[in-house]
Amino acid sequence: MVKAVTRPYRDYNEDGFIIEDGFYVVMDGATTLLNGQASKDGSIAERFVNYAKKNLYRFYKESNDFLEAIHRLSRESYHYFNISSKIPAELPSMALVCAIEKKNHYELFIIGDSGVAIKYLSGRYKLKMDKRVKALDQIAVDYKYRNHVDFKDILIRHRNLLGIKYQALIPSLDMVYEPLIFKVMKNKVDKILLFTDGYFSMRDTFMITKKNIDFINHDLDKGVQRIVDVAYQDKDMVKFKRLKVIDDITAIKIDCQS
């Protein structure tokens, strides 16, 4: 059994997910920080995510190689969106986490600050994320609350570290992606949770769940509603320090034994 949930915080959604035959992806888009205002058609990040929703599975099926699929997505989206810049702050980007079901195991891939939580049949659990983006975000949060000024400049500086200090998927002809890659055996795993950082705010920002195992076991719909309730109860961002009131929220939970 597979359950998915996504909730935007604006009229458009920069998150997305893919559920195909044994192929599960959660995506978290980030719009450009320079020359990237949203229009009636949404943001360029939303369109980038929608392009991936339409094409990534097809690219994977044609190559049977996830790394080749994401590199092709990066290259072809560069042409599709008629990109001319190579400056990361002028480009849409996307964190992405993928689970691919194989005969005896699941292959898992993480690019950016989305993550994977795994509950094993033994009762053990594992939480895997690329923490480099989180570290940069925390610097921006500290800067915002310490200086009480606009923090966009520091976000731009951090975005331009993409490809140097951290990775995210962008439209590019020459970016080389090195995702976190690992696998879990089917006969050992109970559940796999793929999530964006918006969903993980239940654990790290709002501390709705105090333990990782509770985060993994939480009902998706109830979890999203708790995030929304707590975020807007603190709409002035006094109790919980963060860069914005609430983020888009997306997660997929795979029941591996059903």
Residue 12 zone, left/alpha/beta (φ > 0; ψ -120 to 50; rest): beta
Alpha carbon distance 216, 229 (integer Å)? 20
- Other Cβ atoms within 10 Å of 114 Cβ, number: 29
DSSP strands (E only) in 104-157: 105-111, 115-120, 125-129
- Cβ neighbourhood burial of 117 (10 Å; 0-12, 13-18, 19+): buried
Strand arrangement, sheet containing 15-20 = 15-20, 23-30, 93-101, 105-111, 180-185
Q: What is the pLDDT of residue 38?
A: 46
> Given pLDDT bands bounded at 50, 70 and 90, which one contains residue 134?
confident
Q: Does the pLDDT of residue 170 top 50, yes or no?
A: yes
Q: What is the pLDDT of residue 133?
A: 87
Q: What is the pLDDT of residue 41?
A: 62
The answer to whether 141 and 242 have CB atoms below 8 angstroms apart is yes
- Other Cβ atoms within 10 Å of 14 Cβ, number: 29
* pLDDT tens-digit readout, 12-34: 899 999 999 999 999 999 988 88
- Cβ neighbourhood burial of 204 (10 Å; 0-12, 13-18, 19+): middle
Q: What is the pLDDT of residue 147?
A: 81
The answer to whether 111 and 197 have CB atoms below 8 angstroms apart is no
pTM of the complete model beyond 0.85: yes
Q: What is the pLDDT of residue 152?
A: 86
Percent of the chain with pLDDT over 90: 81
Q: Does the pLDDT of residue 149 top 80, yes or no?
A: no
Question: Strands 115-120, 105-111: parallel, antiparallel or unpaired by DSSP?
Answer: unpaired
115 contact partners, CB below 8 Å, separation of at least 6:
97, 127, 128, 129, 130, 194, 195, 197, 200
> Given pLDDT bands bounded at 50, 70 and 90, which one contains residue 35?
low
**No. of helices (H) and no. of strands (E), the chain:** 7, 10
Token pair recorded at residue 113 = 């600050």
End-to-end CA distance of the chain: 6
> Given pLDDT bands bounded at 50, 70 and 90, which one contains residue 58?
very high
Average pLDDT, the chain: 93
- Other Cβ atoms within 10 Å of 158 Cβ, number: 21
Higher pLDDT, 173 or 11: 173
> Given pLDDT bands bounded at 50, 70 and 90, which one contains residue 39?
very low
Strand arrangement, sheet containing 189-195 = 2-7, 249-255, 189-195, 115-120, 125-129
Higher pLDDT, 132 or 111: 111
Q: What is the pLDDT of residue 11?
A: 86
* pLDDT tens-digit readout, 187-236: 999 999 999 999 999 999 999 999 989 999 999 999 999 999 999 999 99
Q: What is the mean pLDDT of residues 127-144?
A: 90
Domains and CATH numbers, the chain: 2-255 (3.60.40.10)
- Other Cβ atoms within 10 Å of 57 Cβ, number: 17
> Given pLDDT bands bounded at 50, 70 and 90, which one contains residue 254?
very high
Percent of the chain with pLDDT over 70: 97
